[in-house]
Amino acid sequence: MHTKVWRMDAENIMDKDLKEAAAILKAGEVVAFPTETVYGLGADATEEAAVRKIFEAKGRPQDNPLIAHVASIDQLKELVTCIPDYVYTLIQAFSPGPLTYILPASDDCADNVKAGLSTIGVRIPSHPIALAFIQAAGKPVAAPSANVSGKPSPTAAEHVYEDLNGRISGLIDGGQTGVGLESTVIDCTGEIPVILRPGGVTKEQLERVTGTVMMDPGLVKSSEDRPKAPGMKYKHYAPEVPLYLFAGTSQAFRQYVDKEMQAGNRVGVLMSDQTAAMFTEEVYIHKLGRTIEEIASSLYDGLRFFKQANVDKIICETFSENGIGQAVMNRLRKAADRVIEE
Ligand code: TXA
Ligand code: MG
């Protein structure tokens, strides 16, 4: 299959290219597109056969439901049967944006979008290209992250191309995404919203708007509960070499890396700019940025970075779980083969 690529500028979207991409989607094919979080792999959410192609291209387990992307509140309303008041409040504050609402589903989407559940995840992305693409399609667009299942999500068109070239019909290249981690998924079927996947909108931000927000017990580290978002139980976001997470002081981290190198291991090290300043030049470093927002934004690129390099393992430091740090650590734990605690 030939993968057609359209280079698109968010500030100056070419109508002709957008229409061509939307026409391919409406014809039942799969097209990847940028959102403010990560690239999505889109298909017409109302067509079972089109949605099936997403699962095939990604190698995604059939029991993992997809998010339906819409361009307006009216379009969102069609996909669900009931919207609690607090959801309207959240929509006002955070949509369009990186927040996905799980609500009781209407019959408008194909069954395989929901993977057999009675609920559906809906989100209004804020990326201008994503919004324009959904509008041009005139349909809800089912879209998981546009990576091969298990790999880090794509934050640049190059990542999508690397994973899916020849397996999808089109790719809208809108440059780098912004947030860099996926949307926050919240279950809105109960009295109080429950976070099923931490993401672009933080728990603190949600609570400022609606009061108490719960965390799915299945997300807690030592819990025996199963995560309620089917996707959260799989190993995810993993680079192609083993990833070790190091929890400890920067000093202990440096000593650990030195020890690994003395033992003859070729290691690649992922860390913040501040921690990197403590390392000598012989260490193979990839810096993720200074603030936790910068680290979130460059994390997946960092996990892909050492792919071509000749390293035996990647060692990454841990970050404090405030704000988007909660999502950063959630993804790192899922990606890691081992956590070293000193
Ligand atoms: O930022 C994002 O959300 C990106 C962009 C493309 O929008 N999309 C994304 O989709 O991350 P995906 O498929 O990689 O992750 C969707 C997550 C999965 O963990 C899935 O299990 C969960 O949302 N999910 C979807 N529908 C659900 C439902 N009805 N009930 C519970 N969890 C659901
Ligand atoms: Mg994903």
Ligand 2 centroid, distance to 153 Cα (angstroms) = 6
The CATH 3.90.870.10 domain(s) of the chain lie at: 4-219
Q: Residue 195: which residues within 8 A CB-CB, separation 6 or more?
A: 184, 185, 186, 187, 203, 206, 213, 214, 215, 216, 219
pLDDT at 71: 98
Q: 196: Cβ below 6 Å to ligand 1? A: yes
What residue owns the CA closest to ligand 1's atom 21?
Answer: 231
Topology of the domain comprising 243-341: Rossmann fold (3.40.50)
Q: How far apart are CA 5 and CA 171, in angstroms?
A: 5
Let me know if domain 4-219 sits in CATH 3.90.1150.10.
Answer: no
Host H or E run for residue 252: helix 250-262
Which of 224, 225, 231 shows the shortest CA–CA distance to 150?
A: 231
What residue owns the CA closest to ligand 1's atom 15?
Answer: 144
pLDDT at 283: 85
Q: 143: Cβ below 6 Å to ligand 1? A: yes
Strand partners, 245: 316, 339
The CATH 3.40.50.11030 domain(s) of the chain lie at: 243-341
Angle at 151 between CA 147 and CA 157, to 5 degrees: 40
How does pLDDT run along the chain (342 residues), one tens digit per residue?
Answer: 999 999 999 999 999 999 999 999 999 999 999 999 999 999 999 999 999 999 999 999 999 999 999 999 999 999 999 999 999 999 999 999 999 999 999 999 999 999 999 999 999 999 999 999 999 999 999 999 999 999 999 999 999 999 999 999 999 999 999 999 999 999 999 999 999 999 999 999 999 999 999 999 988 766 667 778 887 777 778 888 999 999 999 899 999 999 999 999 999 999 999 999 988 878 899 999 999 999 999 999 999 999 878 899 999 999 999 999 999 999 999 999 999 988
Buried b (16+ CB within 10 A) or exposed e, 4-19: bebebeeeebeeeebe
Q: What is the pTM of this model?
A: 0.96
Ligand 2 centroid, distance to 144 Cα (angstroms) = 6
